[in-house]
Structure formats: C-alpha cells, structure tokens
C-alpha cells in the first residue's frame, strides 16, 4: 500500500511537471555521471546565473531523482513533511498555471536504476546533455558495468533536435560517442576540444588553465582537485555556447564555492586540516580524492580515513581490492573502516602505515589518540551505513558549526545515525 501511495505521488508530480514544461518550454541543461555531476551543475548554474540572473533555476540538495526532478521543475527546493503531501499536491497543481517561469533549467540527473534516464526524459527533453563519467556506481542495481554505462549514455536519446552533447573524453566509454554535435572536455586528454592543464591543488583551492582553440584562460578555483576542475570545463563550454565572454566565465568559475561533503576544507582541532569528502564514494571519486591528498604539498603528516563504497554489487570485493592497491603510498597513515577494510588493507600492503576498524563507532573511540597536531586528514566513504561526516564533526575545531558545514545534519539524519 505504501509503495502504491508513493507511485501515485510520483505520477501526479510528473504530470504537473510535464504541464509546466509544455507551457513554458525552457532551455534545459541536463547533467549525469558517476563523478562530479553536482559540482558540474553548480558551476554551470553559476555561469548562467551571472549572465541571466533569476531566469536560471537549478535543483537543490539531492533533488535529482524520481521525485526531485518534478519538484525542481515546479519550483520547490525541498521535500514537504509526509503529513502535508495531500495539500502539497494541490498547491503544486496551481503552480502549473504560473505565468512567470525561468528561461533556463540546470538539472542534475541522478541514476540509480535502469530506466531512470528515460523516465526523466519523459518529463523534459534536453537542449544540452553533459556526461561527466560513465564509470560504475550503484552497480548493485544494474548487474553489469556495461548496463550502467548504457543507462548513462541513453541520455543522448533525450536531446532535442539540434541539441549538444558535452562529454569527458578521459572516459574511454564516452570518447566514442557519435552524435551530430559533441564537444569533448578532459583533464588528461589534451586533444579534447576543451582541456585543463597545469593543475595545481593546494590548501586554498586549485590553479589551472582551460585550453581550447586559440585561447588559454588561467583559473584560480576555490574547489579542490582534478575532478572538480573537470566539473568547471562543461560550465566553460556552456558559457561559450551562449556567447558569454571567456573572462566573464572565468570570473564566475572563480566564485563557485565547494559543496558540503565534496572535497571541502575544514578547520580541525590542534591545527589539523580536514578534507571532507563524505557525501558519497565510488571507485572513481575515491581514486580522485587520493590523488588530491598525494598532490597537495604539505609539510605535516597526511592521513586518509576511508570507509566502504556501497552499491557495487558483485564487483564490490574487486573494486575495494583495486582501491586498496591504488591507495598505496598516497598517505602517511591510512585508516580503513568497515566490512571491506580487510580487503583494502591487504591490497594496500603497507602494514606499518595502515590501521583497521570494524566500524566508524569503533574508530571514534580511539580517533583522538591516532590523530596528531597539524595532520592533513582526508575523510571519505559512501553514505548509508557509514556516515563519516560524524568523523569530521569529531575532528572539527568548531563542531558547533556542523549543521552549517557538514552533510546530513538535519533531525531526520541525526535520528537515523543514532
């Protein structure tokens, strides 16, 4: 009965969202990918908002899935309380008749199940589709990596005639896209239409240059690391397609702030610095986080606290083994936590530089004894069953700011965690 009720709510909201799209026909940029899609959305939104102001709308928070896409189209920024749903659906209906509506939508499309992309496409079609990566995430719902990749690539079928694909050619699956108008970006493939070079992450952000035919634009980003640099390239391309001057796009990109739980720097106790990457984790983003930790020039000790990567299905053990191997030599101390900690540690092989814990709760009991003053600490894990933002809270100099700076700090989440 509960599932039927939810399906009814989804059906109503989708119908109302379709009505809005038919009435106003906004220009739509859709972003999907297993890494960096939220940061890409934020960067594209910033560039367009700086040019067009309130004529641009994005989805907020995690409103990027079956219920979040219609809510964003209807102009909501969060879910209502459960008891308000009947009244909420009625009020949402009246929004289908609103006269003033944004001309541009920047929509993150989160994919967790086969058919998600087609469902989103049944609500709105895209003028521009951005694919940041097709590497596996949420594989437990797909069975095979190629099924997940096909789902991501299916976004191309949801593009309007004359539309554009923007894809990362660092991904071997994406570089073979054959679409009438495809623009490639990359941080490794220097033959891409737009690429980044001289990437230098530091404790103030990342310096790099965006290169395309006939120009090189130096950027001082507040974001940390290569894959967040990659998120700025589609934004630069979108701005370019809209005819926005390169120096104006540069200014917009330099104002983009890091999102909570996504490679955000936090002030820790005893002069420690925390790299908070606790929003979620998958093989690609975990490797990218280790790369940043390795690349930052730092005189103190580097510590990595790494939890489980969820929803990997039958490749779970192998992906944790590969990440363990990849982590070798990236930190002075690596702390593996959770059900795959043993696999990670064995693959890492640096016994004198590795610690193991069964759970975040167990780590919390001794964490203060492990961490030393002035440590640089990377904290990363998938969401459910881990909630490593609570480790960040324990390490923060001002934990009273947790609700402002960390992910999942609402009453709902705090109750779920404890």
Domain ranges of the chain: 2-191+226-253, 264-417
Confidence of residue 140 (pLDDT cuts 50, 70, 90): low
Q: How confident is the model at residue 290 (pLDDT cuts 50, 70, 90)?
A: very high
What local confidence, expressed as pLDDT, does residue 39 receive?
94
What's the CATH number for 2-191+226-253?
3.40.1190.10
Superfamily of 264-417 according to CATH: Mur ligase, C-terminal domain (3.90.190.20)
Mean pLDDT of the chain: 93
Whole-prediction pTM value? 0.94
**Among 7-16, 40-49, 108-117, the range of highest mean pLDDT:** 40-49
Distance, CA of 3 to CA of 15 (rounded, Å): 18
- Residue 1 is predicted with a pLDDT of 42
Question: Percent of the chain having pLDDT more than 90?
Answer: 81
pLDDT 10s digits, 163-198: 999 999 999 999 999 899 999 999 999 999 999 999
User: pLDDT tens digits, residue range 332-349?
Assistant: 999 999 999 999 999 999
Residue 79 banded pLDDT, cuts 50, 70, 90: confident
Q: Do domains 2-191+226-253 and 264-417 have the same CATH topology?
A: no
146: pLDDT confidence band, cut at 50, 70 and 90? confident
pLDDT of residue 215: 92
Q: What pLDDT is attached to residue 138? A: 55
pLDDT at 136 over 90: no
């Amino acid at each position: 009965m509960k599932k039927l009720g939810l399906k009814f709510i989804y059906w109503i909201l989708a119908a109302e969202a379709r009505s809005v799209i038919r009435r106003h026909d906004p220009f739509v940029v859709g972003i999907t990918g297993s890494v960096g899609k939220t940061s890409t959305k934020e960067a594209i939104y910033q560039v367009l908002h700086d040019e067009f102001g309130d004529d641009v709308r994005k989805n907020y928070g995690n409103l990027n899935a079956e219920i979040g896409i219609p809510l964003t189209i209807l102009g909501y920024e969060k879910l209502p309380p459960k008891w308000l749903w009947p009244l909420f659906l009625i009020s949402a209906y009246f929004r289908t008749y609103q006269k003033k509506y944004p001309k541009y939508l920047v929509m993150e499309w989160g994919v967790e199940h086969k058919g998600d992309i087609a469902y989103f496409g049944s609500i709105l079609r895209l003028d521009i589709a951005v694919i940041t990566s097709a590497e596996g995430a949420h594989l437990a719902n797909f069975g095979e990596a190629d099924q997940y990749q096909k789902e991501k690539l299916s976004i191309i079928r949801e593009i309007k005639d004359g539309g554009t694909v923007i894809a990362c050619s660092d991904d071997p699956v994406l570089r073979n896209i054959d679409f009438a108008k495809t623009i490639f970006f990359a941080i490794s493939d220097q033959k891409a239409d737009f690429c980044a070079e001289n990437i230098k992450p530091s404790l103030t952000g990342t310096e790099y240059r965006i290169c395309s035919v006939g120009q090189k634009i130096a950027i001082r980003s507040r974001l940390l690391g290569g894959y967040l640099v990659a998120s700025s390239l589609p934004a630069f391309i979108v701005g370019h397609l809209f005819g926005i001057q390169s120096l104006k796009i540069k200014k917009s990109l330099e104002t983009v702030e890091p999102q909570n739980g996504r490679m955000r720097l936090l002030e820790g106790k005893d002069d420690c610095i925390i790299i908070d990457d606790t929003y979620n984790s998958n093989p690609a983003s975990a490797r990218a986080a280790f790369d940043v930790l390795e690349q930052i020039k730092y005189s103190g000790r580097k510590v990595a606290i790494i939890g489980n990567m969820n929803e990997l299905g039958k490749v779970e053990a192998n992906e944790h083994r590969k990440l363990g191997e990849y982590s070798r030599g990236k930190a002075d101390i690596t702390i593996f936590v959770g059900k795959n900690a043993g696999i990670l540690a064995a693959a890492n092989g640096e016994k004198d530089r590795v610690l193991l814990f069964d759970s975040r709760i167990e780590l919390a009991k001794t964490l203060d004894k492990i961490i030393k003053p002035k440590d640089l600490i990377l904290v990363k894990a998938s969401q459910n069953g881990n909630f490593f933002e609570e480790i960040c809270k324990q390490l923060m100099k001002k934990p009273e700011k947790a609700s402002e700076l960390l992910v999942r700090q609402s009453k709902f989440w705090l109750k779920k965690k404890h």
